[in-house]
Structure 1
Amino acid sequence: VLKAASPHLRVCALRPHLIWGPGDHHLFPRIIASAHSGKLKIVGDGNNKVDVTHVDTAANVHLQALDALLAGKANGKAYFISQGTPVKLWEFVNRLLVGANLKPVTQRISLRKAYILGSILETIWSLFKLKGEPPMTRFVAVELAKDHWFDVSAAQKDLGLKPAHNTWTALDALALTYRKSK
């Protein structure tokens, strides 16, 4: 996409990380289902920081990018998008769970064990052509245990990226909707 950038075709790439919020049918429902089943475990030491992006922040920055492109800015550039401040993943997950009236995750598994388990399960799923995804993969093990956050200063400067909501306030509000839906 970025290679297509020209004065006649203005393009930029937006790279939001871990989009969440109302209407999420992927991330939080899986976390809550895993917590209900007792299968959710903290992978690694539980101190890893990640970037998250509220859905409203993601939507707003698309409009801001359009404005920037129309003004002749941002053409041919890529931007990381998030709330702007990394959060401790497991603090974030546990706050959601507690707010939804579920028990916080306390059980742990080392990254090494989770990675080996992921490798074994991927092999089993592949050999037996099982449907769906394995409950653990090597990729998921690493994502749940390692820091992954990005510098969003270019999006702040060029596009005016700002969080649509305070991360924790929005998370508490979302957790309340899960609590009420029980």
Structure 2
Amino acid sequence: TIAEKAVRQAAANKEINAVILRPHLIWGPGDPHIVPRVIQRSKKLVRVGNRNNLVDTIYIDNAADAHILAAKKLEENPSLSGKVYFISQDDPIPMWDMINGILHAADLPPITRSLPVRAVWTIGAILEFVYTVFRISGEPRMTRFVANELGTAHWFDISAAKKDLGYRPNVSTKEGFRRLKEWLTKHPITVE
């Protein structure tokens, strides 16, 4: 991102001490992006691709812990400045187990219908075209990018964060789902 490039450049020029953390798909209580979108669109969701595409997300408390830990370690060891660290649960799981875990926390049924990635990608391309040609505001319900993300395995090596920062996720994915369920009972999200 532009902000990350600016921070990396400033750190390289010794203008600031900073490390860059790259959390992957933050979710949990209070999440304004992933959790609400999955729940709101649950009746319209279709599993993209097969069940084998793994994803490694990060529970919100683990992301917060990683940022605090990084600040402490940077203060102890300024030579870490300018380094980039991926952070996650360190527990890749099938994408649709993740999505169904969120739905379970909201007491909603799992997604069982599926379509091939190529078909969903094509739908995304058509919707993008229609939105562009007719100048429809907002974002299409499906895009080529989203189709690829839902149908492709993606996780990152966090060994550098473990080694340099001592990062370990304190909240497991299973415990995160339990906490999310508890939060959703007090803060329900409406299904579209």
CA contact (8 A) 1:80 1:155 kept: yes
Determine the structure 2 residue equivalent to 1:100: 106
CA contact (8 A) 1:95 1:172 kept: no
Find the partner of 2:52 among 42, 47, 53. 47
Deviations along 1:125-182, one digit per CA (max 9) or x if unpaired, are: 1111111110000000010010000000000111111113111111122124324555
Alignment of 1:137-176 (within 5 A): 137-176=143-182
Question: Quick one: structure 1 residues 181 and 8, their matched pair in 2 at CA, closer, same or farther if it must change by over 3 Å?
Answer: closer
Alignment of 1:53-132 (within 5 A): 53-71=58-76, 72-132=78-138
CA contact (8 A) 1:40 1:105 kept: yes
CA contact (8 A) 1:101 1:179 kept: no
Distance in 1, Cα, partners of 2:44 & 2:15: 52
- For residue 100 of structure 1, report the CA deviation from its aligned partner: 2.0
* Structure 2 residues without counterparts, runs of 5 or longer: 1-6
CA contact (8 A) 1:73 1:158 kept: no
Determine the structure 2 residue equivalent to 1:33: 40
CA contact (8 A) 2:29 2:184 kept: no
- For residue 95 of structure 1, report the CA deviation from its aligned partner: 2.1
Distance in 2, Cα, partners of 1:8 & 1:67: 19
Question: Quick one: structure 1 residues 47 and 180, their matched pair in 2 at CA, closer, same or farther if it must change by over 3 Å?
Answer: farther
Find the partner of 1:12 among 19, 22, 28. 19
SS of the counterpart of 2:40? helix
* Structure 1 residues without counterparts, runs of 5 or longer: none
TM-score, normalised with respect to structure 2: 0.88
CA contact (8 A) 1:20 1:52 kept: yes
In the TM superposition, structure 1's runs of 4+ consecutive aligned residues that sit over 6 Å from their partners are none
SS of the counterpart of 1:47? coil
CA contact (8 A) 1:19 1:54 kept: yes
Distance in 1, Cα, partners of 2:66 & 2:186: 30
Moved more, 94-103 or 17-26: 94-103
SS of the counterpart of 1:80? strand
Moved more, 85-94 or 65-74: 65-74
Moved more, 144-153 or 169-178: 169-178
Specify the code of the residue in structure 2 equivalent to 1:60.
Answer: D
CA contact (8 A) 1:54 1:164 kept: no
Moved more, 101-110 or 161-170: 161-170
